[in-house]
Amino acid sequence: MKIILNGAPREIADGMRVSELVEYLELLGQRFAIEVNAELVPRSRFAEHRLAVGDRVEIIQAVGGG
Amino acid sequence: MSTPAPTSDRLIIAGKDYGSRLLVGTGKYKDMDETARAIEASGAEIVTIAVRRTNIGQNSDEPNILDVLPPDRYTILPNTAGCYDVDTAVRTCRLARELLDGHNLVKLEVLGDEKTLFPDVMATLKAAEILVKDGFEVMVYTNDDPIVARELEAIGCVAVMPLAAPIGSGLGIRNPLNILTIVENAKVPILVDAGVGTASDAAEAMELGCDGVLMNTAIAAAKNPILMASAMRKAIEAGREAFLAGRMPAKRFASASSPIEGLFF
């Protein structure tokens, strides 16, 4: 199924959970935070949050800035 | 005679106290190494960072800013730079809180215009209200307007941070009398945020009675950022001590320093 990941279309397995997406993107061990459709998904809910077709997923990190 | 003890003169923000009154940004440096060295030289304990999309699948080996500025050593202050509306600013803060394991101190800025980067004060007030209700400790970037500063304090912001001049402009304090009025009215810390260009600007802010200064470009865009970071640290300390010491009144004409009495000619 297609989702929008950080602004770009991306094909992922149907019904993928956020925890599985994190694993699939090899983000384990990094500091990041995720929102789906402009709503924060806390880490504690990664395993239960199932993604749906067309979901807009944002994965963010800290960068240098003023 | 007792000497003043600067060690007891601490900056208190949201119940936590700091020895340094210089807060620094982490943008515009050549690389992570220069970032870390400049921040070390500045002596800053509070450092602001931005929140952006993760580079998925690219540069996964690239060091993260939080690797060079570990949150157990620095107080990380996530900012909402680049936000032009209430919604994105609030979302950014919520993401940052999750990113930093529930750490709820944020620097709110809601910008109004790309050319000036002046704050949209109406949106800033709205966002501040939402964030305070949501449990955030909000340090807020605002204009040098005493009325807006007073409102932001009334909403419950833990620090109010008027600009000296536009972000990244290095123009120095354009309206010192407004900054002074904001300082005189306030019960929360007032920090000049943005517009400082060189050490004397930072000292001036502190001499006006500001509780601190937040800067980024003045250090990062100096020819030698590490040396400028050190200069800023000293300027902040010098300005603070001058403020506490209380300056002499300025006079239009001269006043001899040596006695007139006892002249032998």
Question: Where do the domains of chain A lie?
Answer: 2-61
Q: Residue ranges of chain B with pLDDT lower than 50?
A: 1
What residues pair up with B228 in beta bridges, in sequence order? none
Q: Is residue B199 part of a domain?
A: yes
Report the CATH architecture of A2-61: Roll (3.10)
Minimum-distance CB partner of B79 among A31, A61, A65: A65
Q: Is residue B17 part of a domain?
A: no
Segments forming the whole domain that contains residue B236:
25-245
What pLDDT, on the 0 to 100 scale, is given for residue B7?
61
User: What does the pLDDT look like over A47-66, one tens digit per residue?
Assistant: 999 999 999 999 999 999 98
Catalytic one among B30, B107, B115, B133?
Answer: B107
**Do A65 and B81 count as a contact with CB atoms less than 8 A apart?**
yes
Structural domains of chain B, count: 1
Average pLDDT (A13-34) is: 94
Q: Is residue B10 part of a domain?
A: no
A contacts of B42 (beta carbons < 8 Å)? none
**Which residue does chain A place closest to B31, by CA atoms?**
A64
B107 is catalytic: yes
Angle made by CA atoms B28, B30, B32, in degrees to the nearest 5? 95
What residues pair up with A23 in beta bridges, in sequence order? none
Residue B24 DSSP one-character state: E
Q: Is residue B5 part of a domain?
A: no
Residue contacts between A and B (CB atoms, under 8 Å):
98
For chain A, give the number of residues: 66
Q: Is residue B209 part of a domain?
A: yes
Minimum-distance CB partner of A65 among B26, B56, B98: B26
Whether the model clears a pTM of 0.90, i.e. scores above it, the answer is yes
Tell me: pLDDT of A29 over 90.
Answer: no
> Helix, strand, coil shares of chain A as percentages rounded to 5?
15, 40, 45
**Do B98 and A42 count as a contact with CB atoms less than 8 A apart?**
yes
Q: Is residue B2 part of a domain?
A: no
User: Cβ-count burial of A54 within 10 angstroms (0-12 exposed, 13-18 middle, 19+ buried)?
Assistant: exposed
User: What does the pLDDT look like over B14-45, one tens digit per residue?
Assistant: 999 999 999 999 999 999 999 999 999 999 99
What pLDDT, on the 0 to 100 scale, is given for residue B88?
97
What pLDDT, on the 0 to 100 scale, is given for residue B58?
67
Residue B64 DSSP one-character state: P
Whichever domain contains B119, its CATH number is: 3.20.20.70
Cβ density class B189-225: b for 16+ within 10 Å, e for less: bbbbbbbbbebbbbbbbbbbbbbbbbbbbbbbebeeb
**Do B167 and A66 count as a contact with CB atoms less than 8 A apart?**
yes
Give dist(CA B195, CA B166) in Å, integer. Answer: 5
